[in-house]
Structure formats: structure tokens, C-alpha cells
Amino acid sequence: MKPVLAWIKANLVSVIAIIVAIAAFPVLFYFSSGWNKSLQEQVETEVSGNIRELNQISVNYEAPTLDPSTPSASFSRVPNEATTEAIKSWFDSLRIEIEKINVLALDANNPSRQPLVEGLFPQPSAAESTSKRQEMARVWPGAMARLLRDAGAAGPPDPAVVFDQLLAQYEVERQRLLGVEAAEDASLEPEDEERIRTDLGAERLRIYENYADELRFYGDSSVIENVGTWEETRGAPSLEQCWEWQLRYWTLQNTLRALANANTDEAGQELTVPLAPIKRIESIGIQEWDFETVSRPPNQQPPATANTSNEIPRNYAISVSGRTAWPAATQNQLYDIRYVDLSLIVDSSRIPHVLAAFPRTGLLTVVDLPLIEDYDPRPDLARGYYYSADPLVRMRLRIETIWMRKWMAPMVPDTIRAMMGIPNDWAKPEPAASESPDSTPSAVQ
């Protein structure tokens, strides 16, 4: 016992510390339990508050539509992965649909078209510039007339040819009645003369009918307005004038395709005049652009890249479609618009079929019908136009034709690209099929 006491005395400080620690342990355990409960309640309160704050956060989700005139689907919701992923999928599908629409629009424009004069656009070489522009002036009027012929159109039969046919038939009948040796001044009996006249009248009608059965519609080069010969004394036309002629050629090409489609039945059979809805083209007026007088941008430089993400403004004062384009709407970098005014002689019972042929052909829309009136075909029959017995109307209409800029841009002269705001990146060759475009253009409205 004494050795233990001696050791305690020698290590008194350590012994006291141990005793205090042992005594304090149950006390500390008692108080720590209370502290843990208080801390837990505090943490729970803070977490609950944070959860309430999170639940009060609301994100506005917006899902646009293909048609800018249709309001986007918009709703508010607590942010969550499922909704975010659904909106992302919607945008992805929208981009795919927009790309499909643009591909269809480009295909409808038939981007494989070639210029009338090779090597003229976008800029001929300095050595060939004058000769290429002069060549365009020479070939353009004939190319416009050739489009009509290729579409199956022609004027009425030549009156001189018809007269010679009827005269030959008259001489055959006269010789049959009077004899081959009859004198030139020998007269037929009045009843024979009257019968021959009646027969020749019927024969003339058969000639007209047979001729009409070879045509898709009547119409010669004179029906195309403002196509004339370029006077060589004026020198070579400007490159801008040559491009204007090229655009009008393509516009006529599309218009005639629509008219030919109107004269095609549901089975794809081409119809000739006696059976066709469109009997005759009276006139085709294609809107002209005078690039020489249009105001030009101060720096004469086209934009570097296309901006097709913004909505193209609509103006219903211009047309019922609301579509606007250069020069009225410089914001539209996606496409251009050309108007075509037509005057047609049409079977009145098939007007809807004719109107439907335009949008069915491509990017063509009927935007005005200023005139539909009854038409008397009898004066035309005397001039060789045979329409059949269908009730007819004269119909005047305005067609809005859309031209996608992207496929034309590599051919557009630099001065016109600057004037119209066609971007430089579209003037470059298209990327290979394996490459992806940098951006997806907006859809045609």
C-alpha cells in the first residue's frame, strides 16, 4: 500500500487528470446528447428551407414551331432532367424537319440548272467578257421561244398553208365535176358550188381540230412580254443585265412546267388542246429587275456569312402570302421572289385543277385572280384556234415564284451579291456530302 501511495504522490498531477477525465465522461455524454439533438434540428430546418426555396424556383420552357406565325408552346416548371431532355429532343427534331424542308425547297428549284452561256457567271475572264455577254444577248430571245415549243405550245396553223390545202381540195372536186379538160372559166352549177363550200368549211374545221390535237396549248413567242432583240449598236450588255435575262429564263421555265402539269391528267397522261383545261396562253409577263438603277450598299461588299435564323417579316400589303424579299425586305437572305402575270383561256369547269397545278409543280403560289370572265371562242375559231365545245373563261392570275439563294449564289455576279446581300460563304462550293453544314437555315415560310 505504501509503495502505491508513494507513486500517487510522485505522479499527483497525472492522477488528478485521470480522475477528472473519468468523472467528466458521463457528464459530457449527458450534455453532448442534448447538443446533438439541437444541431440536428438546426440542420433539418436549414435543409427544409433550402428545399422550399428550390421548389419555388420556376423555369420557363419554350418549344417553338416550324411556322413562326404559330405561337410557341410555353410553360413554367421546376427544372428537372426529364423536361429538359424532352425540350432538347423537340429542338433536335425541329432542326431535322427544317433541314428536310430546305432540301425539298432546293430540289423544287431544280438546282442542277445550268446558265445559258457557259463561262459567263459569276464572272467571265477579262479576255472573254465582251464576247460572252454578246453571246447571251444573241441566244436569250431564241431560248425563251424554245421553252414554249418544248412545252408543246405553238400558235394557230399558218393561214396560207390552210388556204393551199383547201384550194387543192377545191380543184380536185371541180375537175371531178367539170372534167380535167374543162376551161379555167368554166362555172359549176350553183348547187355544186354551195355543196363544195360547205364541204370545204367542214374540212377547214377538221384541219384546225387535227392541228389542235398535236398541241398542249396555243401560244407562240409573241405571248412572252418584253423579250426583244438587243441592238448591237448598244455594245455588249452589262453582266447585271445578262443575269437578269438568265433569271427570267428560269422563271419562264418553271411557269411553263406548271402550265404543262395543269394539262396532265391524274394518270400522268399529257392532254392536248381539245381535252386540256388550259386552251391558250394569251400572255406571260415576268417581273423585271433593273439592277442598273437599284441603290447599292455604300461599301459594295456582300456579308461574310448568312443570317437565316431570324424570322422573315410578312407584309400582306404586298401579296396574300405575306412573303417579302429583296428589295422590299433586305432581312430575307434565304430566297428571292419573282412575280409572273398570266392571261389564259381555260375550261371554266376545271379552274380549280389549273390553280392546284402551281403549288404542285414547286415553289409557286397563286396570289391574285384579278379577272375571270366568260369567253366567246368564235372569233378565235375564224383565226384557226380550235378549243372544242367546252365552256370557256379568260383568267388572269398572278403567280409568286420563290428562288432559293443558296444554289444560285455560286453563279451570282459579285456586284449583285453585294447589292442583294447574298453572303460570301454561299458563293463557295458546297461541302462534300460527308461534311456537315455549320448551321441549319430557317424554313421557307
Distance CA 351, CA 376 (A): 17
Question: What is residue 286's three-state secondary structure?
Answer: strand
Task: Delimit the domains of the chain by residue range.
Answer: 2-56, 59-105, 113-154+221-427, 156-214
Residue with cell 421546376: 78
Distance CA 56, CA 75 (A): 15
What's the grid cell of residue 347? Answer: 375550261
Burial 92-114 (b: 16+ CB within 10 A, else e): eebeeebeeebeebeebbeeeee
Per-residue pLDDT of the chain (445 residues; tens, 9 = 90+): 555 455 555 555 555 555 544 554 455 445 455 556 666 666 666 666 555 655 566 777 777 776 666 777 777 777 777 878 887 887 788 778 777 777 777 777 776 789 999 999 999 999 999 999 999 999 999 999 999 999 999 999 999 999 999 999 988 888 888 777 777 777 878 888 889 889 999 999 999 999 999 999 999 999 999 998 999 889 999 999 999 999 999 999 999 999 999 999 989 999 999 999 999 999 999 999 887 666 555 555 666 666 666 677 788 888 899 998 888 877 788 899 999 999 999 999 999 999 999 999 989 999 999 999 999 999 999 999 999 999 999 999 999 999 999 899 999 998 898 888 888 888 876 654 444 444 434 444 4
244 sits in which H/E element = helix 239-262
122 upstream amide cis, omega within 30 of 0: yes
Amino acid at 343: S
Question: What is residue 152's three-state secondary structure?
Answer: coil
The answer to whether the CB of 440 falls within 8 A of the CB of 93 is no
